[in-house]
Chains A and B, each alone.
Chain A
């Protein structure tokens, strides 16, 4: 009985749906505020994203008559389920995640792809030309960033010698953070570049380029379904940041300062916020690339960084 209750608590409240969406939306608000200040303007208040999502939730639910309604309606829910599950597999409060699975790095890589696939399905099923173009672009982008993303993870796996995220975090607790290992610096850079593509931020916001294809795959979405997509997107930001934090920054560490026990979740929040702010800076200093340029960039420069890191880990003792 306790196990069932704790499972429900984990998946719905902490670190699952409620916690993840609240923090994800907060990070999106911080991102928008910082963006505003970088552009020398005031920007929206930090809680703006809550207001936006709340307002969208209260709107009328519309399914376009040209859309494949089943796929169109279910896609955001599956994506939400997938990102929430990743949240359960990440070390949030301590090195031990809420849900343990064997070889969970592979599970995380797999689950992180589900929102992308749902986005494509949603775009293709929406029945609009912009949705189709956006989905087609996202397919290309998926094939470009995913390779680099996985190679960077393999570099970490080769360094630690385990496919288990818990083991990676435990290894860092004993031997120091992996970011301090010079051989893994290129892998970290490659990871952040591919995260930029995964989260569709400038210069890789090609699948939802506003001036070209309105909002890409999400063009036809509105109301509560769009709100769910926004939550998915924001949780995905948090999840990818948490994943990078766990791989390179030692995951959540509980500190004791002057007798106070600071829980690991505070450390998790600080580390993820730093990574989100790095992506915010990156998205404000560049123009959007074309899809062919993005593909070329990923398969040359970013892939080179990841391979270099892997080689260094394997060759240099």
Chain B
């Protein structure tokens, strides 16, 4: 006898609303149906109705956790359209902020992953140490979460030299705790029992389903946009692309934890080699008709922005492909043959961010039909 375990739209496992319908035989999963679209906000349409400059702040709000990488990608795309090059110092500051964001996102992932397997102590400790990196972000940007640092043509604030020692001290603390968690993740027997050989994504499947980011790197696919297609200051910074062989949840966690250490290294190097000079160049924001694509490595994987300009100060079309969207396809093969107990940790292993993911299509859950909703229609519903 199979029965349905509904997961979502509200469920303690999910941090954001999304609906997963698991068909379960006893404890074994026999089928999964994913319905997306609960967190749709009409952002892409809104982006094409605001000026380039205002859009920086809207792009930041596509995702709260990876806000810097969203605004950086947007700014890079517009800079490419407008044909300007940001100053070197701005590129380094962007890299510092993006790496701090990666550390913060991966520590957040570790905490929630620990909670998903019932390890609440590790959850609390990981989030405690996440406070250090939040403090560093607050120190250089003035905001704990939304940094509001990027602008088209550079960054809005400079990293002051008196902040550098504080930052280095904070990084030391972070490195110490990241090493501790890497050790713990690799040696604690209950973590190993819950995470090894669970939600395995083989290398072939990872390539076939176009997995991106840590998910692909855990399956031994060496993709990292920072290395493959260097942008900003990453061409000048030295770091390793972390890969693991196994492809299970444990490997995905290990990739993220080891990336924290790499990111700390990158921030240290960037702070040391920070070039002097201005932090922003003036840009004329009347962009002739053109189109461009830019991609960056967000904490969750490859992030793509496509912008088409039409000669005015607003873009005609902005399309955002978030990493979570790229990873959803691999989900089914990860769930196949698993048990109910594996659902939370396997789902969390792709580090889903539904707020990023749901932007344009609305799926009617009664008829199963997908249709595109215009911004005006959404506004009317809101009222």
Contacts and interface: CB of A to CB of B under 8 A. Distances in A.
**A and B found bound together:** yes
A316 interface: no
Contacts of A4: none
Contact of A285 (B6, B27, B121, B339): B121
Contact of B27 (A35, A287, A288, A291): A291
Contacts of B116: 211
Interface string A261-294: 0000000000000000000000011111111110
A203 B191 CA distance: 11
Nearest to A36: B124
Given A203-B190, A209-B118, A39 B125 contact: yes
Interface stretch (B32-40, B142-150, B211-219, B340-348): B340-348
B3 A39 contact: no
A261 B41 CA distance: 71
B340 A213 contact: yes
Contacts of A286: 119, 190
Given A209-B341, A212-B13, A214-B12, A202 B118 contact: yes
A211 B115 contact: yes
A175 interface: no
A223 interface: no
A129 B6 contact: yes
Contacts of A210: 12, 118
B1 to A, nearest CB: 11
A225 B291 CA distance: 62
Given A287-B119, A287-B194, A292-B339, 8 more contacts: A39-B120, A40-B125, A133-B340, A212-B13, A287-B114, A289-B193, A290-B193, A290-B341
Interface residues on chain B, size class: 20 to 34
A44 B179 CA distance: 30
Contacts, number: 84
A129 B194 contact: no
A288 B119 contact: yes
Contacts of A212: 13, 340-341, 343-344
Interface string B105-138: 0000000001111111110110010000000000
Contact of B194 (A137, A285, A290): A290
Nearest to A205: B118
Interface string B1-29: 00111100001110000000000101100
Interface string A202-232: 1101100111111000000000000000000
A284 B190 contact: no
Interface of B: 3-6, 11-13, 24, 26-27, 114-122, 124-125, 128, 188, 190-191, 193-194, 339-344
> Which residue among A41, A203, A291 has the maximum number of chain B CB atoms within 10 Å of its CB?
A203
A289 B194 contact: yes
9 contacts: A133-B27, A136-B26, A205-B118, A211-B118, A211-B344, A214-B11, A288-B118, A289-B193, A292-B27
Contacts of A125: none
A133 B118 CA distance: 17
A214 B14 CA distance: 11
B25 to A, nearest CB: 12
Interface string A114-143: 000000000000000110110011000000
A133 B190 contact: no
Nearest to A214: B12
Contacts of A41: 124, 128
B117 A287 contact: yes
> Which residue among B13, B117, B122, B342 has the maximum number of chain A CB atoms within 10 Å of its CB?
B117
Q: Give the 9 A-B residue pairs with the shortest CB-CB distance, closest first.
A: A288-B118, A39-B124, A287-B119, A287-B190, A211-B344, A287-B117, A286-B190, A290-B341, A211-B13
A101 interface: no
